[in-house]
Amino acid sequence: MGEQCDADPVSLTTPAAPALADWENYLREFPMQGSNSPITPPIPVPANPVLYRFWRGVIRLWFAFTFRKIRILHEERLKGPEPALLVVSHPESFLDALILVAGLERRVRCLIPAGLVHGLFHSLLARGLGMISFLPENRPLALERCCALLAEKAAVVTFVEPGPAYSAEGSGLAAAAASIAVEAERRHSGGLGLRLFPVYLFVPVGHTHTRELLIDIDQPEIAQDGISRAEGSERDQVKEVAQRLETRCQENSFRLQPAALAEFLGDLEQALRDELKQELSSHPSGKQKLEGFELSRFVVQWAEQMNYLHPGLLVSLRESLAAWRETCRRGALHRLEVEGAGAWLERPLGWGVVLLETVAGFALAFYGLLNHLVALVVLYWAGLLKKESGRDKTTAWLERGLVVLGSYIVEVFLVARFWGRRAAGYYLPTLPLSGLYLWRYAWLLRHQVRIAFLSFTLSVEAAGTARLRKEFLNEINQALSFYAEMLDLPH
């Protein structure tokens, strides 16, 4: 890794985020430069931007081939020579670091845990892009290097580290960024001019309709302003800056609005109710009841945090939930249509007659369609097939009749011209008769054949609805399992 410390083999999971007090302990236990620090001297910004631009071009090409367009909002806010600390309101990952590198024109240095870098190719990328990786025991050295880079007017990227949603110490969401900012300003007696930029990511997940990767750079916070508002020790300064950054991170511009989030939670509860109801119906002797069922506090807190930490995940789950709801709605309408079809559908003789006429009458209906094809084309071109065309009904029907009659005259004339008057005499009465049966056959298909088909496919449709519900709940369970340890929520 570019600046990785020698340590144990890489872990497959990201360590839990330290609380705010832990970051302050790091500052006390490992005094940084300017306070007799035993830590390695600062590492300056590498003077070889060619390698960085090369790997950034490779990443951009890869995103282009994967049909992922990166759109940057308000990138002009990053322009300027001042040092910048980008606080990304998104769970840290190597892919997200690559997204930021590929999207931003300004050169950035990403601070990521070493456990996120897997394999030789990732290590080469991290080295070429100058990423700062660290193991838990070497975290103070990583913070030291970030301060050194900021002193060189660089742009450093840090990710939020989710913790408990409600605790006396706070969630520690932006504790690392606050610690870096306070120490960097302290070294320059408050004259560094460090700006803290909340950055919001929208990363599509699964089969969501949105294919763009969105990055929104919010208005910056001036680090020294937050430090000046805090009275007392360095601990108070870190806490003040961290709380302000946490509030800004929760204002994610891509988050669901409160009404949409409440609707999502309500639909999720209904899906869980349906799943539980199905399980109870298969075990009627069970003692569990649906009365009083509601979402757990763990699920609600998870959804609230993911709304500003990973809105792309909630959007994907919401689309899956909407697909399930739409399938439920169509299924309910189809059942109502079948139930209101009448007694003919309940008797084998009734739907047998419908099936027989559908097969036997197809040839006659097709003959009628050929006879009226010209008339239908003219009616469609003239807009006379629309039920609500804004015209007077009597006038509209008169115009339709004239078009059909005109097509009859043309067709009879052509038959008489090529096959003689006798053939035209036989052909003439078939025109209105075949037209009437074509009308009858269209009604048969819409009102009886379709209903009969729905009655045979209701069970298949119900199975498909249950499958969609299970797939959605599986996605929810996977998301909850993945983030439970990281968020450290009680459940």
As a whole number of angstroms, the distance between CA 422 and CA 416 comes to 8
Cα(113)–Cα(130) distance, rounded to whole angstroms?
Answer: 14
Mark whether 201 and 263 lie in a shared domain.
Answer: no
Q: Are 223 and 186 in contact (CB under 8 A)?
A: no
CA-closest candidate to residue 40, choices 51, 50, 30: 30
- Coil, helix or strand for 132? strand
Q: Are residues 436 and 347 in the same domain?
A: yes
Kindly provide the residue ranges of all beta strands, DSSP E only, lying in 18-97, ordered along the sequence: 69-73, 84-88
Residues 157 and 289 in one domain: no
Q: Roughly what angle, to the nearest 10 degrees, separates helices 421-444 and 348-360? A: 150
The answer to whether residue 478 is domain-embedded is no
Coil, helix or strand for 205? coil
Report which of 117, 138, 139 is spatially closest to residue 128, judged by C-alpha positions. Answer: 117
Where does residue 280 rank: exposed (0-12), middle (13-18), buried (19+ CB within 10 A)?
Answer: middle
Give a yes or no: residue 11 inside a domain: no
Note whether 320 and 444 are same-domain residues: no
Same domain, 263 and 248: no
Place of tokens 């100058």: 130
The rounded distance, in Å, linking the Cα atoms of 196 and 241 is 10
Q: Provide, for the chain, the percentages of residues in helix, strand and coil under a 3-state DSSP scheme, each rounded to the nearest 5.
A: 60, 10, 30
Q: Are residues 283 and 238 in the same domain?
A: no
Per-residue pLDDT in tens (0 to 9) along the chain, 491 residues: 344 433 333 333 334 444 444 544 544 443 443 443 333 333 344 435 888 999 999 999 998 888 678 999 999 999 888 899 999 998 888 999 999 999 999 999 999 988 889 889 999 899 899 999 888 888 888 888 999 999 999 999 999 887 655 444 445 678 889 999 999 998 888 889 999 999 999 988 876 667 789 999 999 999 998 888 887 788 888 989 999 999 999 999 999 999 999 998 988 888 888 877 777 776 666 556 666 677 888 888 888 888 999 898 888 888 888 888 898 899 999 998 888 887 788 888 888 888 999 999 999 999 999 999 999 999 889 888 887 666 788 888 898 899 999 999 999 999 999 999 899 999 999 999 999 999 999 999 998 899 989 888 888 988 888 888 888 888 888 888 877 766 555 54
Alpha carbon distances (Å) from 307 to 1, 34, 212, 225, 364: 32, 40, 18, 28, 60
Opening angle at CA 383, ends 379 and 384, nearest 5: 55
- What CATH number did the domain enclosing 129 receive? 3.40.1130
What is the number of residues in the chain? 491
Q: Specify the number of domains making up the chain.
A: 3
Residues spanned by the domain of 89: 20-254
User: Is the pTM here over 0.85, yes or no?
Assistant: no
Q: Give the CB-side neighbour count of residue 374, counting CA atoms within 13 A.
A: 12
Between helix 373-382 and helix 362-371 the angle, nearest 10°, is 60
Residues 300, 185 within the same domain: no
Rounded CA separation 34/52 (Å): 31
